[in-house]
Structure 1
Amino acid sequence: MQSSFFTLVLLPLALAIVMLGMGLSLVPEDFKRIRRYPRAVAVGTVCQILLLPLLGGWIAMAVPMEPAMAVGLVVVAVCPGGPSSNLMTYLARGDVALSVTLTALSSIVTVFTIPLVTNLALRRFLGEGAAIALPVGTTMLQIFLITLLPTAIGMAIRHRFPGPARRLERQMGRLAAALLGLIIVLLLIREGSKLPGFLAQAGLAIVMLNLLAMLAGLLAGKLFRLPLPQQVCIAIEVGIQNGTLAIAITAGLLNNPDMAVPAAVYSLLMYGTGLGAILYGRRVIPMAPLPK
């Protein structure tokens, strides 16, 4: 498979399918919850938009690794929460409505923050001239086209054809998971000879990012005395990022497979920590009583 097809077609297609599937699960009411849960939404958004990139940048500087992989780690940290976080929140008995709201809101905000923070990371780890590799305006447009536009189309389909949309949502989820798996396999095949070194360099940083982000989200929820379901939701939202988008940015927009390795490994490891969050949530949050 040629690199151009991989970066120009397969990656954007996979991400668009993921976001279309998320759009099929959204209704306008999801965005109205911002007024209903203002404190929880504010805590979750600040953790995702401000705290997580700062945490990613600190880890990238503290853990020795190749500069390209340090940039890739920061890209993972600045990406929004992924659709997988909504499923994990549900399985953990967290606040699913809040999870959907935070995922949708962070997807909108990060269209603007991803190019800015990524350019800062490029300049910090690869030198002053590296930032020109990711033009801010063009990148915002590309991220909009492969994230927000498919999400809006999915919402429009859900509004117009709610029954078929719910059935299509399941199929899109399976297709997106299959494409993400294919992308990770292709990345690992292309960089197979370098994989042991990559894991030795970035494995610790990826685990630290995943665990510390989830812990930070949980502690923030406790600090602001949010209900347990909202604490678990924020922990998962902050800890589970959109790995597909991170791969699309690093391997696609930046055309650097080395930068994509942290995102690919993260996309696998996050399910392990996600399972831990699910078990924690099911232990501390009582099951909702059945309706009488």
Structure 2
Amino acid sequence: MLGTVIRLFPLWAILLSLFAYQQPALFIDMKSAIVPLLTVVMLTMGLTLKPQDFLDVVKNRRAVSIGILLQFTVMPMVAIVISLALGFNPEQTVGMVLVGSVAGGTASNVICYLAKGDVALSISMTAISTLLGVFLTPVLTGALAGLSVEVPMTAMLMSLIKIVLLPVVGGVLINSFLSGLTQRLLPVLPLISVSAIVVIIAIVVALNAASLAVIGPAIALAVILHNGLGLAAGYYACRLLGMPEIVCRTIAIEVGLQNSGLATALAMKFFTPVAAIPGTLFSIWHNISGSLLAAYWSKTPQMKRPSKPSADFSKG
């Protein structure tokens, strides 16, 4: 029952978003709760990790390295290209760049499992990209969006340390020393995370209720293109590099699914509610597309590795 509730995350997000769109006054005053809610999400992520998950990078260092490189190059660059192609204003552009510059999404591990990917690799990539994102997200946002809007890189870095690094590290430490407690909490942690993200989405929808009808469709198109191109680039780049199918699927999911809740929170804290719309819509869409892709891959035999592969990336 609990698993079904969690898997229906996109439905709850859509329903609460529609309610917030119709009754924005009920959510607007909750604006200050966005960052604390995101901190809770990152803490729940930390509670599911152990130091071993970071050490596992050594075992999969080639695959992780390629995945991280794609994560922090493909997604930011695709975001800026789409924004320019669709003629977005600076607020919309910085929102797209934020989505492209954050780490992989916390939902990627579940999607990877459903898609019959390499869950250990997925967890390792999520953990490492989350830590790297603390420093890379402000740098990439400043480099790509800084020409059109002032990006407070130092302030953003400090916020990411407080919102991401400290909660994740704290969760890992709690899971290491109080594993009995975290094991009991494990079944409800995804529900806590999903609930927090759904509320964040609803708040942002309420704050943008007046403008969503005008700018929402264009940003929705951008989000769908961004997510789709990220999934495709992650998969086919790995195929070209001769990686095993299971690794190709895993990296595709890690590259295509972003921590858009974090992008939304950063947009609200440092920019405007309009800049938070891409992250809000991405949060809904990437769970839908990821679930559909997982359903397809779970029933699809894994393709054989391309002939004369350049290397076996499944091992260290």
Q: Above 0.5 in TM-score?
A: yes
State whether residues 214 and 239 of structure 1, in contact with CA within 8 Å, keep that contact through their aligned partners in structure 2.
yes
**In 1, Cα distance between the equivalents of 2:76 and 2:277?**
18
Percent identical pairs in the alignment equals 30
Aligned to 1:159: 176
Contact 2:27 2:202 survives alignment (8 Å): no
Structure 1 residue 214: Cα displacement: 0.5
Instruction: Give the length in aligned residue pairs.
Output: 277
Q: Structure 1, residues 101-123: CA drift from partner, whole Å, max 9, x if none?
A: 11111111111111122223443
Cα distance in structure 2, aligned partners of 1:15 and 1:166: 22
Match in the other structure for 1:290: none
Residue 192 of structure 1: which of 209, 215, 218 is its match? Answer: 209
Letter in 2 for 1:6: K
- DSSP 3-state at the match of 2:36: helix
State whether structure 2 residue 74 is matched by structure 1 residue 58: no
Aligned to 1:117: 140
Whether the 8 Å contact between 1:214 and 1:236 is mirrored in structure 2 is yes
How far did residue 171 of structure 1 move?
2.4
Q: Which runs of 5+ in 1 are unaligned?
A: 287-292
Question: What is aligned with 2:251?
Answer: 234
Secondary structure at 1:34 match in 2? coil
C-alpha contact (below 8 Å) 1:236/1:277 kept by paired residues: no
TM-score scaled by length of structure 2 = 0.83
Match status 1:269 vs 2:285: yes
Is the CA contact (8 Å cut-off) linking 1:17 and 1:172 kept in structure 2?
no
* Closer/same/farther in 2, CA of residues 285 and 97 from structure 1, 3 Å limit: farther
Residues 1:70 and 2:93 are matched in the alignment: yes
Taking the aligned partners of 2:300 and 2:239, their CA distance within structure 1 comes to 13
Could you tell me which of 201, 223, 227 is aligned with 2:218? 201
Root mean square deviation of aligned Cα: 1.8
- Displacement of 1:4 in angstroms is 7.6
Deviation of 1:158 (Å): 1.0
Q: Give the letter for the 2:284 counterpart.
A: L
Deviations 1:114-167 (A, max 9, x none): 1122223443333xxx23xx1x22221210111111111111111112121122
Cα deviation, residue 31, structure 1: 1.4
Asked if 1:219 corresponds to 2:236, the answer is: yes
- Structure 1 position 88 matched with structure 2 position 111: yes
**Counterpart-to-counterpart distance in 2, 1:95 and 1:33:** 12
2:36 aligns with one of 1, 8, 13: 13
Pick closer, same or farther for the CA change 1:156–1:285 going to 2, 3 Å. farther
What is the Cα deviation at residue 259 of structure 1? 0.1
Match of 1:82, SS state, is coil
Q: Give the secondary-structure state (helix, strand or coil) at the position aligned to 1:16.
A: helix
Amino acid paired to 1:239: G
Equivalent residue runs for 1:240-279 within 5 Å: 240-254=257-271, 256-279=272-295
- Cα distance between partner residues in 2 of 1:229 and 1:76: 26
Aligned partner of 1:179: which letter?
A: A
Return 5+ residue gaps in structure 2 as ranges: 1-25, 303-316
Aligned with residue 106 of structure 1, among 95, 107, 129: 129
Q: How far off its partner does 1:283 sit?
A: 2.5
Q: CA deviation at 1:34?
A: 1.7
Aligned residue type for 2:130: S
Q: Distance in 2 between matches of 1:179 and 1:34?
A: 29
Give the AA of the match of 1:265.
L
> Which is richer in helix?
1
Helix, strand or coil at the partner of 2:58: helix
